[in-house]
Amino acid sequence: MTKDRNAAELASALARCRMAFIGVGVMSGLVNVLYLTGSFFMLEVYDRVIPSRSVPTLVGLAVLALVLYAFQGALETLRARILTRVGAALDEALSGRVFDIVVRGPLKGTTQGDGLLPLRDLDQLRGFLGGTGPSAFFDLPWMPIYLVICFLFHPLIGVAALVGAIALAILGLLTDGATRRPAQTATGHGMRRNGLAEAGRRNAEVLAAMGMQAHFATRWGQANRDYMMAQQRTSDIVGGFGAVSKVFRMALQSGVLALGAWLVINGQASAGIIIASSILVARALAPAELAIVNWKGFVQARQSWARLSDLFAAMPPSARPHALPAPSRSLRIESISVAPPGTFVPVVRDVSFALRAGQGLGIIGPSASGKSSLVRAIVGVWPTARGKVRLDGAALDQWASGDLGPHLGFLPQEVELFAGTIAENIARFDPQAPAGAVIAAARAAGVHDLILRLPKGYDTRIGEGGAGISAGQRQRVGLARALYGDPFLVILDEPNANLDSEGENALTQAILGVRERGGICVVVAHRPSALAAVDLILMMADGCVQAFGPKEEVLKSVLRPASVPFDARPTVGVLRESA
């Protein structure tokens, strides 16, 4: 039922273009009637003009044929434009949902390759609708009409045309069966190839610095060869069947021409039948031949439709819940267990604690203890397998993402900024963001003076991922983004990983600022300086809570007295999260 409903979501997008398809169908009928112009013109020339030697009749027929050809050209142009706009309308109707799937895919564990396959599937559908394939399929229902006219010319001509139609239908079925699996294989190899290319782009510095580029290029080259071979195989199959259908149609056309001559010799048909029947049979079989030529695009569009249907079923649109007041009192974690998207093994098990407004919590523990997985669940980017995260008593799933987002601030381990200005990144790309709120967030993060030293200050443009500024600057701008709008709950995952002493002092002041204005701040600690402004500590190991309470008491119980740095002690270790 769910899959049917989401398949209907795709079908409803096409259903909105119902009138356009009806119009295309009507125009296809008129175009196919006008396709008879050439056959009947030849018939009249041979049977009327030549025997009568009437020039006025020839001129009249020529003018009439030219007018009909002009109408045919205009209708075909209009039909092509309508189909192009149908593809654009489908894109407009589905692009929002497809982008939502692309963005939510990594959070659901459904992303494959470079994660952009849904967008390419939508492009494939739009491209197919705007190409010549749909026109061929609209013309196919008119084949019986042409066959009937062939039978009216002479039964033997009709039989020849019917045999040709059956042969092309068999070729079409063989083409479908032969291309289905290679097309699926090519799609899989294409996803792997694109995924490797995207990974190489993201890790260009590592590949260059460590001499890995040649080895990585070898892997990508193998994936690319597999993709090209699969594509080549599909193209070879379609091209082969297309060539066979074309040669068969040409041979049949010549055969019909010879058959017409034989009928004329035996006095069973007029001379005009020779040319008219040849043209008519060729036209009758042209849609089938064109359909075979476009079969690769049809198969790819059909597979794209199926994949999008499955994705729509896996990630249905989120219902908008009733609006709730802004949270201002508490955060409660109720026995939550968390598994990474796409897996079923929990990396966080039965974690419970509660925080009140004005409190700050530091989360510590060894690598792979579940710290980052826990905070991802707290901000709602990873779903909980069990338990609830509540703000002021309301579970996160009772909030719409757009409504909850302004009340949350999140600084992940790996800070990703977007192409745009510094101000746009801090303002979360809100086009209506007040300039004062952007500056206030920057001041709260202690990055205002640093931004002013940039070439164009807040209007300095950065590249994708924050290219153009240092890792420490990216982290501080990311902190300002997390603090923009004075959110109630601020989650900072290893916020001082790339900070110098000045940045760490600014971080401490930012955490104190959140607490002083009545917010809650949760910090995953990598170095002890990040814990300076918190009052509570939660110690994790193997996905479970080992200790929770006031900072001094927990640190005293879990840390061994020693002179070694905090992040080198065996009980806590280097606290970078890998889960």
Other CB atoms within 10 A of residue 527 CB: 17
Residue 351: per-residue pLDDT? 93
Task: Find, among 47, 11, 98, the residue nearest to 264 by Cα.
Answer: 47
Residue 109: per-residue pLDDT? 59
Average pLDDT over residues 178-204: 79
Hey, which residues does 356 pair with through a beta bridge? 330
Mark 427-459 as b/e (b = at least 16 C-beta within 10 Å). bbeeeebeeeebbbbbbbbbbbebbeebeeebe
d(CA 423, CA 486): 16
Task: Find, among 333, 478, 326, the residue nearest to 403 by Cα.
Answer: 326
Which residue intervals of 1-154 are DSSP H helices?
2-15, 18-34, 36-44, 50-52, 55-108, 117-129, 133-139, 143-153
End-to-end CA distance of the chain: 35
Cβ atoms of 126 and 42 within 8 Å: the answer is: no
Indicate left, alpha or beta for 323 from its phi (over 0: left) and psi (-120 to 50: alpha): beta
Task: Find, among 187, 308, 290, 300, the residue nearest to 241 by Cα.
Answer: 290
Task: Find, among 313, 244, 320, 250, the residue nearest to 285 by Cα.
Answer: 250
pLDDT tens digit sequence for 286-327: 777 777 777 778 878 888 888 888 888 877 777 777 788 889
Residue 563: per-residue pLDDT? 39
Cβ atoms of 95 and 122 within 8 Å: the answer is: yes
pLDDT at 443 exceeding the cut of 60: yes
Which range among 130-144, 154-168, 475-489, 527-541 has the greatest average pLDDT? 475-489
Instruction: Report which DSSP code applies to 346.
Output: -
Considering the chain, what is the average pLDDT of its residues?
83
pLDDT tens digit sequence for 490-517: 999 988 877 778 888 888 999 999 999 9
Cβ atoms of 513 and 444 within 8 Å: the answer is: yes
Report the SS3 class of residue 76. helix
Average pLDDT over residues 45-66: 87
Cβ atoms of 529 and 541 within 8 Å: the answer is: no
pLDDT tens digit sequence for 559-573: 654 433 444 343 333
H/E element, 185:
helix 155-202
pTM score of the predicted model: 0.69
pLDDT tens digit sequence for 359-370: 999 999 888 888
Name residue, tokens 């989120």.
318
pLDDT tens digit sequence for 228-282: 888 888 888 878 887 887 788 778 878 887 888 888 888 887 777 777 787 878 7
Average pLDDT over residues 158-173: 82
What tokens were used for 246?
Answer: 């074309």
